[in-house]
Structure 1
Amino acid sequence: MIKGVIFDMDGLMIDTEKLLMRFWIQSADEYGFDMKKEHVLSIRSLAPEYAVEKLKGFLGDDFDYYKVKKRRIELMNDYISKNGIEKKYGLDELLEYLDKHGIKKAVATATDIKRTEKYLTQLQIIGYFDKIVSASMVEHGKPAPDIYLRAASEINLDPKECMALEDSPNGICSAYRAGCNPVMVPDLSQPDEETEKMLFAKADNLLQVINILQKLIEN
């Protein structure tokens, strides 16, 4: 039985993956690197310990991940300060449904805790969550299972009692390795064959997640 739902944030709850795509490419270009869409897709939710080598493999050993990332954050923060951020379709309804049925809620995100709390507060949804876990709070980030193991522990549940909502293959892999029930809500790309094998279910949007939960509750 599902007693808790653990949410990714970027691309799942808030519509920021398109901004990450735009500003990774812009930042890399400012430093003379031809970063492609597929390069950015490959590092979604990926911890720096893995992303550094992956991007060097694409762009060369002189690619300075941390310098480019710092500039990407500056560009993205400037954009958000002027334009705000948007919730993904169905988020409010899903959070209200979980509240109504007494299902615990946690966040497991690669984004640092300060920005996570800022975004969730800005969207007036932070109060829905019992716990927030950032990758900086665990030894290894996604796709390692650490963050989902920690999130499940924080809400006093076994991972197998938790549904994990993710939009990226790296996040799905993390949840699957932790023993959660991974549900993919695709954002910028659909799951590949390898990711499909790890899925408990797939939904087109967060509103459809309610349908999945209703069937589980009825059964």
Structure 2
Amino acid sequence: MTTFLFDMDGTLFDTEKYYNRAWKQAISDSGYELPEEEVLKLRSLGRPFALEQFQRWFGPEVDYLAIREHRKELMKDFLSGQIPLKPAVPETLRFLKAQGYRLAVVTATGPEQAEHNLCTAGIRQYFDAVICATMVERGKPAPDVYAYACHTLGVTPEECYAVEDSPNGVRSAHDAGCRVIMIPDLTQPDKATGKLLHRKLDTFGALRNMPVE
């Protein structure tokens, strides 16, 4: 194994709870209601899948883009310019770099925002590449973004660990051929997701003690 590919929100950043809150409020402010377990399905869900999901929930007339833009504004308010890291992220990234691994981010967030957030959090320097779903035709849970990350880095998926927190991200990485390590954030993996995992860890820092091939 030569490479670690990291999801960003919910894996590197402790931000998924804010995204969940922002989606729920944006949906409510638009005149709709959605149970908590349904809102969770939006984690790492890329376009065109998110649009299709909204249409299944609320019908073809739903203005997904307007709700999404409102969610983005709410996120700015919730975070107030701060990007909270998961515990032990910087020291774990330093450790993996010192061991000779290549590191990259693979995220549903757009390039400009991803670069800004990584720099704000003080961890951009650890990554060889930042790969975003907007760079491919289909975001997560399709495998495109992980396949593109491997191509960009010049490695095969079989050489890569993918570190994810959500079912959509796990599916994307698994179907691309990566070995998936899940560090659950808001929910534990269900039975179907569990079958796709190479390993499940409780904390980000546990990557330093994980046996690697």
| Distance apart, 1:157 and its partner CA | 1.0
Give the letter aligned to residue 33 of structure 1: Y
**For the aligned residues, what is the CA RMSD?**
1.2
Give the letter aligned to residue 201 of structure 2: A
- 2:110 aligns with 112
Task: Name the CA distance, whole Å, in 2 between partners of 1:170 and 1:107.
Answer: 16
TM-score with structure 2 setting the length: 0.96
Give the letter aligned to residue 54 of structure 2: L
| Distance apart, 1:185 and its partner CA | 0.5
The answer to whether structure 1 residue 216 and structure 2 residue 178 are counterparts is: no
Residue-by-residue CA offset, 1:162-182 (whole Å, 9 max, x unaligned): 000000001000000110000
- 1:88 aligns with 86
| Distance apart, 1:59 and its partner CA | 2.9
Give the match's secondary structure for 2:162: strand
Percent of aligned positions that are identical? 41
| Distance apart, 1:125 and its partner CA | 0.5
In structure 1, runs of 5+ residues without a counterpart are none
- 2:66 aligns with 67
| Distance apart, 1:106 and its partner CA | 0.6
Tell me whether 59-68 or 32-41 shows the greater mean CA deviation: 59-68
| Distance apart, 1:61 and its partner CA | 3.2
Residue-by-residue CA offset, 1:130-168 (whole Å, 9 max, x unaligned): 001000001111111111111112222111000000000
Maintained 8 Å contact 1:39/1:58 = no
- 1:177 aligns with 175
TM-score with structure 1 setting the length: 0.93
| Distance apart, 1:48 and its partner CA | 2.1
Number of aligned residue pairs: give it: 213
Give the match's secondary structure for 1:5: strand
Residue-by-residue CA offset, 1:79-110 (whole Å, 9 max, x unaligned): 2235x121001211210111111100011100
Task: Name the CA distance, whole Å, in 2 between partners of 1:129 and 1:13.
Answer: 12
- 2:188 aligns with 190
The answer to whether structure 1 residue 142 and structure 2 residue 134 are counterparts is: no
Give the match's secondary structure for 1:27: helix
Tell me whether 162-171 or 25-34 shows the greater mean CA deviation: 25-34
- 1:123 aligns with 121
| Distance apart, 1:55 and its partner CA | 2.3
Task: Name the CA distance, whole Å, in 2 between partners of 1:194 and 1:16.
Answer: 25
